[in-house]
Copies of this chain bind each other. A is one copy, B any other.
Amino acid sequence: MSAQNKSSRIDEWMLQKVYRAAGQPAVRLGLRNGVEVSPKGALPAANIVIQDRKTLFRLLLDPEAEFGDAYSKGRITLDGDLVSSLEIVYRSMTEVAHPSWYVNLVSKCMEYVQRNSLRGSRRNIQQHYDLNTDFYQLWLDPQLVYTCAYYPSPGATLEQAQVAKLDYVCRKVQLQPGERVVEAGCGWGALAIHMAKNFGVTVRAFNISREQILVARRRANELGLSHRVEFIEDDYRNIAGECDAFVSVGMLEHVGRQHYRDLGSIIHRSLAKNGRGLLHFIGHNHPLPFSTWTRKHIFPGAYAPTLGEVMQVFEPWDLSVLDVENLRLHYAKTLEHWLARFEKREQQISEMFSPEFMRAWRLYLAESVAGFRVGTLQLFQIVFARTDCRRIPWTRAHLYTKERHEEQETTWMHATS
């Protein structure tokens, strides 16, 4: 056998192995030298070409991480629709084996290196959220809400759906004028401002991204709301003082699974007797870390928990879970909007960042659309309350009446028992 023949047999063997590890999805997978595997009896939805043998070898070791790395560096190219190709792969992958010991080991090491200590969290958060705001302004909604929107109907615009989400959160925790709210992880301040402006509450909003805090403060100033919204550059673990509602939208993913009890103790320490709150976060059906690529290049230190894991926030403090809603389809739609806007602004973004950054972020957004569509990712909103809380609505019907500003016909617990 010639050396060339021999090495192409090895290529084919490796290719087959990678293909099987992905559950034999309906895509064509090939090396640039022409060796390839194709789905049996199905038209391939995309053509994925691996540029060199080293990449193929690395895919064998840690497929998810290497795919991200190689795609963003141009060592893998994909001809076809990125989102639907990823959907196909995700669906076929759920049927096959679990990560190898090597993947698990690398994952564990990374979890340690990126641990969410007070200092670690600051470093982790800065890497993502301190990218300049101009970048996010190019593809988020005008209020810069960087979390799952709520589409009362699927045809709503992104702007409408983000406003609807802010409102939905406020109604879920039953905010009343004059109440004190703590927000943990406030992004660019849209929710805090919405609460103060439309529900007459005072808000203390915490965030460790300096860039975001500065923008949020400026906005509150411009809207004349500085007396009712305070933006504090600090870690959630340093929250002190009492509040009637504790709200956190899109921060739990950055808390880390070692710290749910800590978060619970902060909530417990903060909430007044009548207190209640809401957590909104990306979750999983079963315990699963993000790929090491995602954690290295997109969200350092992030972890999306299962509902079972999150219960560590509530159970030690006797907090009652009142309502859990899974909004994964709403996040798929939100991300579709983001991705479309991102592509539309490709020119401007590529003037700000390298081609590698562009490809990495395109992949991150596309993977997220696919993950929420297929169900490898979930989006949970949990409403909770102290056992003593009397502000529990009799049913959830009040969330689905159209007239928010009219007197709600909500029946309260104390009126009925």
Contact = CB atoms under 8 A, between A and B. Distances in A.
Interface in A371-417: 373-376, 378, 380, 387-388, 392, 394-397, 399-400, 411, 413, 415-417
B324 A321 contact: yes
B154 A319 contact: no
B326 A320 contact: yes
A321 B307 contact: yes
A383 to B, nearest CB: 9
Given A94-B387, A416-B154, A326 B318 contact: no
Main secondary structure of the interface of A (DSSP, over half): mixed
B320 A378 contact: yes
Interface in A39-80: none
A380 B333 CA distance: 29
Contact of A154 (B332, B400, B411): B411
Contact of A329 (B319, B321, B387, B416): B416
Interface stretch (A195-203, A231-239, A309-317): A309-317
A157 interface: no
Contact of A306 (B286, B311, B374, B378): B311
Interface residues of A, number: 49
Contacts of A376: 387
A329 B392 contact: yes
Nearest to A168: B395
A315 B332 contact: no
7 contacts: A153-B411, A285-B318, A285-B320, A325-B396, A329-B416, A333-B417, A397-B400
Interface of A: 94, 151-154, 285-287, 306-308, 311-312, 314-316, 318-326, 328-329, 332-333, 373-376, 378, 380, 387-388, 392, 394-397, 399-400, 411, 413, 415-417
Given A151-B395, A323-B325, 17 more contacts: A94-B318, A151-B394, A154-B411, A154-B416, A285-B315, A285-B318, A285-B319, A285-B320, A306-B315, A320-B326, A321-B378, A321-B380, A323-B326, A324-B324, A329-B392, A333-B417, A373-B417
